[in-house]
Amino acid sequence: MASVRFEQATRIYPGASTASVDHISLEIHDGEFLVLVGPSGCGKSTTLRMLAGLEEVNEGRIFIGDRDVSNVAPKDRDIAMVFQNYALYPHMSVRENMGFALKMDGRSKEEINQRVEEAARMLDLSELLDRKPKALSGGQRQRVAMGRAIVREPQVFLMDEPLSNLDAKLRVQTRTQIASLQKKLGVTTVYVTHDQTEALTMGDRIAVLESGVLQQVGTPRELYELPANAFVAGFIGSPAMNLHTFQVEGDQAVLGQARLQLSPATLHALEEEGSNAITLGFRPEALELLSAPAPGHLPLEITLVEELGSDTYLYGALQGAAGRHAEPSNNEAADLGNQVVIRTTPGTSPAVGSTVFARVVPGGLHCFSTSSGARLPQ
């Protein structure tokens, strides 16, 4: 097994004026499961393909272990890749598909059979080894693609949205299987997805990309509780964090009828920045309902109630706030205008059209620069 290291790695496609991956520096530990996540076009698949050798590294270097592989051919990097499409040979059986790379490598039939059967047992494919891909379900085909990677015993697994073609229930089941299998094998794994729920549930650490730039790297808990900027705050979590642009009046942030107290550290940072606006964030579960108005409350007119069994989500319009959908000037985290989402317990839902009062619980407020999106001290 081996660690992986990106050192200022950059990819600029021919004819492009901006980098698809812009000077990314990232270290992935030996045996770690790291998830690259971000919206479509953020550069996560390009980053993976650079590591695989399928895309040129225009600047910087990439290491697998202590070896610089920036200019090494893909076949010599000792990696195995699992794609979104299964890429199975339709005329071959499951056994032949899984063992094909070993056959091309000149391994003996005994070794091939041993590795294939061992991988098949791990993936619950033993009874399907003589079937052709057309006789398999989507989930079974994806497991065969996984098995083909496992039998090679590579230093690094690379997975490019391998669950995208599966239905919702099968995705949940398969992502659990992949995560537990990776722990069992202990192989360094880089996994690409646009689904932040997959990222939170599967990864030891998560790297968030946007517009080719690495935004933050950390454990799922770190990214959820301490997002480095407004983009990460709005991207990680479902439903997304409530993000709103407030005006600063004295020591308070004001939006419509809401007035939230700011700390001296936050006010000092805003003074140094020369800004009288601030982006405040609070997650749906960081809001508690009040029986009456209180200092720091948010008055909300309920517009929608979602009953999800174990949870209820209330969607409300912040009274006195314009119904805009603005965006901070230098980051991609959308300001939700006057919409606020609250997670509450089921069975206590107010009626649509009624007014409720909510308060951000202590420690639940996140402060970001409206100009840069960066997290501010609190």
For 235-269, give one letter per residue: b (16+ CB within 10 A) or e.
bbbeebbbbbbbebeeeebebbebbbebeeebbeb
Mean per-residue pLDDT of the chain: 91
Rounded CA-CA distance 39/103 in Å is 38
In this model, does residue 368 exceed pLDDT 60?
Answer: yes
pLDDT for the residue numbered 221: 96
Structural contact between residues 282 and 346, judged by C-beta atoms closer than 8 angstroms: no
DSSP state for residue 375 in the 8-state scheme: B
What domains, with CATH codes, occur in the chain? 4-231 (3.40.50.300), 240-369 (2.40.50.140)
pLDDT for the residue numbered 330: 39
Structural contact between residues 359 and 294, judged by C-beta atoms closer than 8 angstroms: yes
The two three-digit tokens of residue 117, written as one number: 């059967």
The two three-digit tokens of residue 60, written as one number: 């910087």
The two three-digit tokens of residue 162, written as one number: 């391998």
pLDDT digits (tens, 9 = 90+) for 158-201: 999 988 888 888 888 888 888 988 998 999 999 999 998 899 99
3-state secondary structure of 152: coil
pLDDT for the residue numbered 326: 37
The residues, any chain, with a CB within 8 Å of residue 291's CB and separated by 6 or more, are 357
pLDDT digits (tens, 9 = 90+) for 274-297: 999 999 999 999 999 998 999 899
Provide mean pLDDT across the span 94-114.
92
3-state secondary structure of 280: strand
CA-CA distances (angstroms) from residue 161 to 35, 36, 281? 10, 10, 29
CA neighbours within 13 Å on the CB side: how many for 208? Answer: 24
pLDDT digits (tens, 9 = 90+) for 73-83: 999 999 999 98
Provide mean pLDDT across the span 226-233.
96
Rounded CA-CA distance 92/36 in Å is 32
pTM for the model stands at 0.89
DSSP state for residue 226 in the 8-state scheme: S
The residues, any chain, with a CB within 8 Å of residue 193's CB and separated by 6 or more, are 35, 36, 37, 44, 161, 163, 199
Check residues 1 and 362 and name the one with the higher pLDDT: 362
DSSP 45-97: HHHHHHHHTSS---EEEEEETTEE-TTS-GGGS-EEEE-SS----TTS-HHHH
Rounded CA-CA distance 66/282 in Å is 43
